[in-house]
Amino acid sequence: MNEGASLDTDPGAISFSVPALPHQAPCIAGAGSTRCHVGRQFIQVDTFQLLDVSRFEAGGGRLEPRLVKIDDLLSELEAAFHVLALQREVRFSVHRCEGLPDDVYWDLDRINEVLGNLLSNAFKFTPHGGQVQLTVDAVDIGVRMRVADTGAGIPPDQLHRIFDKFYQADNQGAARAVGTGLGLAIAKQIVEAHGGTISCQSTEGVGTTFTIMLPTRVQRRSSLQRAVTGSAA
């Protein structure tokens, strides 16, 4: 396992060091959650999130691809975030562009996790009267999904680190809740396991757009295939 992470098979006994951060110290695991010393403070994170991101880093993250109706996926996300949009007084819309395939072959739960994380972050950093938008269209390689907000934005010198474990940009003061710095790291691992890419563009004081590119069909990889791929790299 890389970056000094040490995971026991028992979720209640985890030692996990935070890489490339000052005042480095191990995490202390409890029942279902873990306290990690990051910088000068402890943050509370979900033990299973730590396990999840570490499995993907080690090439052992599992996908369960199946037939997914894109319109159903988007309708469920639209309904799920409708109430939050009303509560936060943020305009929320989902745009389906022409030419989208009816079906794709993805791990539905994992893609829901990624989009749910991006949308949650967008609402977290967008003030009252702002806007959050999910746009989905067809591209040559498959499907492009963009989550855009009119929130606080991310400092340009920090954009290259936002997918690092535990990293949190300096815009946390604008957030309605403090995160753990694991959501985007997991999202990147899930997208890349699907053979896709995730990127971010942001302007401070204007907003942020995350773009995901995914093939329409992901192949289920066996442990043997993962091992061969890893050794070839």
Rounded-to-integer distance, Cα 74 and Cα 224, Å: 34
Output phi, psi for 3, to 5 deg: 55, 30
Q: Note the pLDDT of residue 229.
A: 42
For the chain, give every domain's residue range.
5-57, 66-214
SS3 of the chain: helix, strand, coil, percent, to 5: 35, 30, 35
DSSP 162-211: TTSTT---TTGGG-SS---S-HHHHHHHHHHHTT-EEEEEEETTTEEEEE
Domain 66-214 has CATH 3.30.565.10: yes
Tokens 């880093």 belong to residue: 57
92: left (phi over 0), alpha (psi -120 to 50) or beta: beta
What angle separates helix 108-125 from helix 70-88, to the nearest 10 degrees?
A: 20
Q: Note the pLDDT of residue 75.
A: 97
Q: Note the pLDDT of residue 53.
A: 60
Q: What is the Rg, in whole angstroms, of the alpha carbon atoms belonging to the chain? A: 18
Helices (H), strands (E): how many in the chain? 5, 12
Taking CA atoms, 74 is separated from 54, 60, 79, 104, 111, in Å, by: 29, 28, 9, 13, 11
Q: Note the pLDDT of residue 191.
A: 95
Contact 45, 182 (CB under 8 A): yes
Residue 19, token pair as written in the block: 């890489």
User: What is the full per-residue pLDDT of the chain (233 aa) written as tens digits?
Assistant: 344 333 333 343 333 333 333 333 444 444 444 444 444 444 444 455 556 665 666 566 788 999 999 999 999 999 999 999 999 999 999 999 999 999 999 999 999 999 999 999 999 999 999 999 999 999 998 999 999 999 999 999 999 999 987 667 555 444 445 555 688 988 998 999 999 999 999 999 999 999 999 999 997 654 334 433 444 44
Rounded-to-integer distance, Cα 37 and Cα 44, Å: 9
Q: Note the pLDDT of residue 58.
A: 56
Closest listed residue to residue 55, CA positions, set 90, 14, 105: 14
Q: Note the pLDDT of residue 2.
A: 40
